[in-house]
Chain A
Amino acid sequence: MIELENVGLAYGNGPDILQNVYLHIGRGDLRFLTGASGSGKSTLLRLLFLALQPHQGMARVLGKDVASHTPQSRARLRRKLGVVFQDFRLLDHLTIFENVELPLRAAGGEPGKHTNDVNDLLDWVGLKERARDFPNTLSGGEKQRVAIARAVVTKPELILADEPTGNVDPAMAKRLLRLFLELNRLGTTVLFATHDKHLIERSGGQVIHLMPGGRLSQ
């Protein structure tokens, strides 16, 4: 699913953010990525969702080298990845329904064609009644649930979550974690970056620790 071999990554001519990173995550795994602020967690996730390329080593996601993509093949591979961010990244001018439907439209689906799928997902995250509302009327936890629904609407093989509980209270964090655990039980591979040790202890997933200087310990 994810294979990193001796990966090094830097922004421009700056210092290495990731150094000699080796990582193997298999199909159906659940892994937590931890590390201090600035240790490179977000950079590692950006590499895995194909926004960056390593200057050293080899990085394969879903069996394909991240450096070998064309814009088209990168877009097609991203449809098999679900990405969730701490800051939600919802589009405020679209309704909640349209936000969740967006990946399907981007994949060439007609608007309104997958209504049942979208409604089922909104039901799953407990927001079916808010489908017509706009994101700016939601709380942080509700926004993150919409973002999770959007991430999984294309039934991705791998979910990359970058501090998804960072902007919500502990109760909501637990509720969000349950959604990820449920997805993992259904066979989706999940890589979940977080600072929250209690959350990790509650889940029982394996931890990957990113140390300052961008080295991994598993």
Chain B
Amino acid sequence: MTTASKLNPSPIFPNAAAHLRSLAMTMAVMCYLAGLAVVSLLIVQHTARAWAEGLSHEATVQLQHLSNVDEEQELTKALALIKSTRGVISAAALDKSAGAKLLEPWLGKGVTDDLPIPRLIRIAIDEHNPPDFAQLEATLTAKVKGVSLDTHRRWQAQLSRMGTSLVFLASLILALITLASVILVSYTARGVIAANTAIIEVLELVGAEPRFISRQNDKQFFTTGLFAGVIGMFASLLTCAAVYYGGGFTDGSAMDLGAMFNFENFGERVIAGLALVPLLATLIAVWVSRLTLLQHLKKNS
């Protein structure tokens, strides 16, 4: 008896309450959805930033094909002007075949040979000290025929807006899941308290302080919240892995989505984000159930 009591005292609130089993299952589903929402949020944030950063590092100059104009001469002139501009790190002209290759997915192979495809100059920009684009455009237009400058600012603004909207949506979903979990735990805690009313009464009679009773309650909800959180986290991790490995994200096809999302550097943040799910679930379960119990004790005192 002595050893058994010391090593394994029975929990004062029995753990096997049906309410807690239902809560564990429902919270596991909530945590699974929360895990997916966290991953979506991180992907959207990461991708929007990566795209925006990529665009802000570069600008493109386009030279239209004009008859009676020496294209190579205009290209050299434009390159010289660009390279001499403050804030430009480097500038390189793409060869004709590179421009044709960009159009091939839409027009088909071989069709572009006879088309007047514009020549492109890719400009790398010093982010901290960017050039005066208005002045560069004015200089180029004055001195080079058929030239236009694309600073990507319009795309960048649209991407930024899209990114912000998606982050907002994912955050909203996460907040709704958290709210639903809080309501769920609150209802379950009331059920558990109702089921444990006789035990609570006995505890009060034998001189247990509210803090002691609440600690017994915390143990139940801690276990339930942690269990549900871990199950939900692993389920969402498995889903992400299945989508990543099974959805053609790794073979360079499908517009090279793997590279686009830059998953290689991204995994650690996803795992860190998912690790927050069981922590949050445990915190919600313990905190909300404790508040509910303390309210009950206060009402009855």
Binding site for B on A (CB under 8 A): 49, 71-72, 74-79, 81, 83, 89-91, 93-95, 97-98, 101-103, 105-108, 111-112, 115, 119, 131-132, 150, 154
Contact = CB atoms under 8 A, between A and B. Distances in A.
Given A91-B198, A115-B6, 12 more contacts: A75-B207, A75-B210, A75-B212, A77-B207, A89-B198, A89-B202, A93-B10, A93-B14, A107-B207, A131-B1, A150-B206, A154-B207
Going nearest first, the 8 A-B pairs with the smallest beta carbon separation are: A112-B6, A111-B9, A79-B207, A106-B208, A78-B207, A103-B206, A112-B5, A75-B209
A49 B213 CA distance: 18
Contact of A95 (B7, B10, B208): B10
A10 B129 CA distance: 83
A77 B204 CA distance: 11
B10 to A, nearest CB: 5
B207 A91 contact: no
A105 B12 contact: yes
B204 A75 contact: yes
Nearest to B300: A51
Given A91-B199, A106-B203, A112-B9, A75 B1 contact: no
A4 to B, nearest CB: 20
B207 A106 contact: yes
B205 interface: yes
B2 A102 contact: no
Contacts of A74: 301
Contacts of A72: 209-210
A101 B1 CA distance: 12
A69 to B, nearest CB: 9
12 contacts: A49-B205, A71-B210, A71-B297, A72-B210, A75-B207, A75-B212, A78-B204, A83-B205, A91-B202, A105-B9, A106-B208, A132-B1
Interface in B1-39: 1-2, 4-7, 9-10, 12, 14
B204 to A, nearest CB: 7
Contact of A132 (B4, B208, B209): B4
A152 to B, nearest CB: 11
Contacts of A108: 212
A131 B5 CA distance: 11
A92 to B, nearest CB: 9
Given A102-B202, A112-B5, A131-B1, A76 B10 contact: no
A154 B201 CA distance: 18
B10 A98 contact: yes
Contacts of A154: 206-207
Nearest to A122: B1
A103 B203 CA distance: 8
